[in-house]
Structure 1
Amino acid sequence: MELSNNPRSRGHEEAPPALLPDLSQVKNSSFSAAQQQGYCATIFLRRKDKLEKTQQKCIAIFALLCCFAVLLVLIFSSVDIWGDSEDGITEENCRTDCRIVLMETIPEDLQQHLNARPNLPLFVGFHTLLDQAKHSIQIVSPVWNLRPSEKEPIQSTGRQGHLLFQRLLNLKSRGVKLKIVSNLTNSAEQKILATHNAEIHLVNMTAFTRGGLHSSFWIVDRTHFYVGSADMDWRSFSKRKELGLMVYNCSCLALDLHRVFSFYWQLHDRDYIPSIWSRRVTALYGRHQALQLELNNTPAVAYVSTSPDLFCAKERTRDVDAINHVMQSAKTFIFISVMDYLPLVSRRLRGASVTRYWSPLDEMIREAVVLRGIKVRLLISFWKNTHPLTFNFVTSLKSLCMQPYNCSLEVRFFSHKPQKDDIQHGLNHNKYMLTENALYIGDHNWVGDEFSNNGGVGLVVQMKNDEGKIMEQVKAAFERDWTSPYSKNLLGNKDRYNKYKHFHQVET
């Protein structure tokens, strides 16, 4: 029997055609299903990706809106726009044809021994500013003590301060706004002024730098202003020796000083300096772009400086840099009159006091004397609070000009016998520096702690030639004090220094 190669002959019956699936149809249906699933997955992934991108865009937009809102809050909460257009004075229409007047306070018992005609009294200058006021007066002072205590008779020593206080109270009846910035103190006079519609903002300098607010200036109608050593203290008009500048019809410079006032004004009830400040406190003028103006019909440049560094708004020149600028302008001499000189800074670290050398001003003097051959005279007050190390530092300066080196550096101490009840009687409270054609007048003694920690304002005035009458007046005032019987050379005679130190301690 032959075996057939036909599969049908091997016992397998061929399925009927109707019962067997069409392989091509199976393949096509499987491919279609897979294709449909893949398409659905693609659509899903695309939608998911689109949703994620939409969510990311929303988050980014929301974050940008939040940042923008925070930025607006920081800008408009840090510095407001108060007073910048209330009188119509702007950078474009302000005045530069100014009048400047030197003012002094010299106690009566000092005047008879000073061999020169005194300048106009400071209290006269303040009354002139009050007479000029039509809209507003802004005052910054670290002290408010215009009325003497009951122990001091008003008629003899405190009448000028008392009269000034009464006129400030009367500003309300004239419709003149009074705004005051001062240290965080509990002043009875400030409370009385507040009841007469004065607005008072207190600056907590301890929270910022652990220092104090030493700035002292007036701004009247953003047109006239005062800068100098006098505080709102009755002693500044009768017992202490003070020097300041009254500047009239100088709205451009007053406008810039107003920006410093606005800076202080916004620190009320704050314990931090905002990281973002409005351009309305940005300096208008500075060391590199001083204001071109006329002072008593003489061409000059001027600008305002501030300290400490934390209080220097954008484009504002630091006091230390302003002093350096004036020193660099000197061709033959630098005259300096300050109450204290001490190039030291004290810090508290972990409960302990750490003192270090503070070099800027000390190095400027050395550079001027040794490298440039400038004649330097340094007049320092000698009183109970004079630091013992002052003698060491000025002796070190003086040693620069020992033979055979040819230079000139002189140091004298202004000393007046104080009354037993007031260590500030007759005190030389001046704080200024002068060259042939430039003047710096500020609020700080030349002590490292003051420039580093305390709020202060300085004014730099530089004549374009050597014909400025104001420079002649300040120079005459310095030379009068320098040659007076109250100016003493204590260097090189330690016994004499100790004798005077002991004298002041016993008397006070």
Structure 2
Amino acid sequence: MELSNNPRSRGHEEAPPVLLSDLTQVKNSSFSAAQQQGYSATIFLRRKDKLEKTQQKCIAIFALLCCFAVLLVLIFSSVDLWGDSEDGITEENCRTDCRIVLMETIPEDLKEHLNARPHLPLFVGFHALLDRAKHSVQVVSPVWNLRPLEEESTPTTGRQGQLLFQRLLTLKSRGVKLKIASSLTNSAEQKILATHRQRTPESQLFSCITGDFFFLPDTPQRKELGLMVYNCSCLALDLHRVFSFYWQLHERDYIPSIWSKRVTALYGRHQPLELQLNNTPAVAYVSSSPGLFCAKERTKDVDAIYHVMQSAKTFVFISVTDYLPLVSRRLRGTLVTRYWSPLDEMIREAVVLRGIKVRLLISFWKNTHPLTFNFVTSLQSLCMQLYNCSLEVRFFSHKEQNDDVQHGLNHNKYMLTDNALYIGNHNWVGNEFSDNGGVGLVVQMKNRGGKIMEQLKAAFERDWTSPYSKSLLGNQDRYDKYGHLH
């Protein structure tokens, strides 16, 4: 037996030879498999990325839809949607051929010395409005005292208040809806009226501006002046929108940032309502305050006063209960007071820079702030040694009957010029314009004169020259160290 010298053959069988072509095929197969796996992974990653992007788009669209839905809810929940119309009155079909009447209540013990020419009393005017109401009555009033206690009223005032209260109670039987907006929520009178009214809101077909909001049922113990406008549905519609604003605030404890067009002002300083007042061409608009309560396009009271004062050519007559250009705030338990300049600066500008004759009639009563005398003295000092400068200040003072009730208080809050008037419900006190809700009415006659302007001027001059009007200068000895008038 022949032994082989090849060591690989010892104890082993010889392996079959491997060709280069076979190795190449194996490598190619492995590369193809790896390439196939890489391609599959790429497709998977692409599909995964596309799926993620699709999901992100869906989430974004869903989020936008949610935001849009929330926005719609905010818009439509910020105000009540009252059906398809406001009693059928629109800006296109409302009436502008109006009649305006001066109303005035003068207490009995003032009439003799005032030698007052009789105007329509507030009590009679309120009843006339209620008689004319066909669909609804809307009342904004911070004070309710139609049924005063016997010790707080005279037989006349008590009877008038009771009659007006009973008239309000009969509205439901006539199919007239009553709606009240008031900061006073625990009034016994309102609770009784609540059982007689329906909550479905309607718009009124009349309008009334007095010294305390749109429609103030007041007792004749105060001297009060107001304006009543008949058959003026355009103006009433705008007042209705102010009422709508107040009503929405009454139902929530915050001021929405978005409001419906149902409370947007129809008329304002830059676009007033053109109308006929007692057959005399005029323009008018409703203002409001504070600024937070002014819906879109609504003119602020301070701006309305400035507009009227700027339009004056010869004189400005102002009759207010209080005049105090200060604002007081309580910060961290401390009362902080600062100067509130707008109205004070308007008067100074009119007198000094434009030569306008200004008369300021202020009520003197138990709540008159002592600093009032400082401010009016400062105003009067403007005309010292100035040619063609006229600024006079007087105080309307009447005795107080007791410690609780101020009888004969001059409660007027209006301004009259040679061609325009403003009547509101705020005293000319900084805190009232910045903190309290209210409205004002601006009327400007296109032609000089007008019966209503003549009547209002006569009423002011009657009060100005009355025995109850006392000049600050020449009567310094009448004031004690606390600024009280003797």
Normalised by the size of structure 2, how large is the TM-score?
0.93
Q: Greater CA deviation, 82-91 or 47-56?
A: 82-91
For residue 82 of structure 1, report the CA deviation from its aligned partner.
2.2
Aligned equivalents of 1:164, 1:305: Cα separation in 2: 28
Structure 1 residues 116-155: aligned runs within 5 Å: 116-152=116-152, 155=155
Q: What secondary structure is seen at the aligned counterpart in 1 of 2:381?
A: helix
Aligned equivalents of 1:16, 1:118: Cα separation in 2: 138
Corresponding residue for 2:356? Answer: 374
Corresponding residue for 1:32? Answer: 32
Matched, 1:241 2:223: yes
Structure 1 residues 85-104: aligned runs within 5 Å: 85=85, 87-104=87-104
Q: Greater CA deviation, 495-504 or 58-67?
A: 495-504
Aligned equivalents of 1:147, 1:376: Cα separation in 2: 40
Matched, 1:165 2:156: no
Q: Greater CA deviation, 27-36 or 15-24?
A: 15-24
Q: Greater CA deviation, 59-68 or 24-33?
A: 24-33
Aligned equivalents of 2:195, 2:216: Cα separation in 1: 20
Contact 1:300 1:461 in 2 (8 A): yes
Residue 326 of structure 1, aligned match among 305, 308, 318? 308
For residue 422 of structure 1, report the CA deviation from its aligned partner.
4.5
Amino acid at match of 1:165: F
Percent identity of paired positions between Structure 1 and Structure 2? 83
Distance 1:281 1:230, change over 3 A: closer
For residue 492 of structure 1, report the CA deviation from its aligned partner.
5.2
Residue 434 of structure 1, aligned match among 391, 416, 439? 416
Structure 1 residues 239-388: aligned runs within 5 Å: 239-388=221-370
Aligned equivalents of 1:82, 1:19: Cα separation in 2: 95
Q: Greater CA deviation, 58-67 or 491-500?
A: 491-500
Contact 2:478 2:485 in 1 (8 A): no
Give unmatched runs, 5+ long, in structure 2: 1-5
Distance 1:198 1:230, change over 3 A: farther
Give unmatched runs, 5+ long, in structure 1: 1-9, 202-219
Amino acid at match of 2:392: E
Amino acid at match of 1:248: Y
Residue 436 of structure 2, aligned match among 439, 446, 454? 454
Q: Greater CA deviation, 164-173 or 31-40?
A: 31-40
> When the two structures are aligned, how many residues end up with a matched partner?
477
Corresponding residue for 1:209? Answer: none
For residue 51 of structure 1, report the CA deviation from its aligned partner.
1.1
CA RMSD of aligned residues (A): 2.4
Corresponding residue for 2:66? Answer: 66
Corresponding residue for 1:46? Answer: 46
Contact 1:99 1:247 in 2 (8 A): yes
Structure 1 residues 220-231: aligned runs within 5 Å: 221-230=203-212
For residue 30 of structure 1, report the CA deviation from its aligned partner.
3.1
Corresponding residue for 1:75? Answer: 75
Aligned equivalents of 1:40, 1:223: Cα separation in 2: 79
Aligned equivalents of 2:473, 2:57: Cα separation in 1: 75
Residue 446 of structure 2, aligned match among 450, 464, 475? 464
Corresponding residue for 2:57? Answer: 57
Distance 1:63 1:180, change over 3 A: same
Matched, 1:481 2:463: yes
Runs (4 or more) in structure 1 with deviation over 4 Å come to 10-21, 198-201, 230-234, 499-504
Contact 1:418 1:425 in 2 (8 A): yes
Contact 2:143 2:184 in 1 (8 A): no
Corresponding residue for 2:3? Answer: none
Matched, 1:112 2:94: no
Q: What secondary structure is seen at the aligned counterpart in 1 of 2:104?
A: strand
Normalised by the size of structure 1, how large is the TM-score?
0.89
Distance 1:83 1:69, change over 3 A: closer
Q: What secondary structure is seen at the aligned counterpart in 1 of 2:249?
A: coil
For residue 48 of structure 1, report the CA deviation from its aligned partner.
1.2
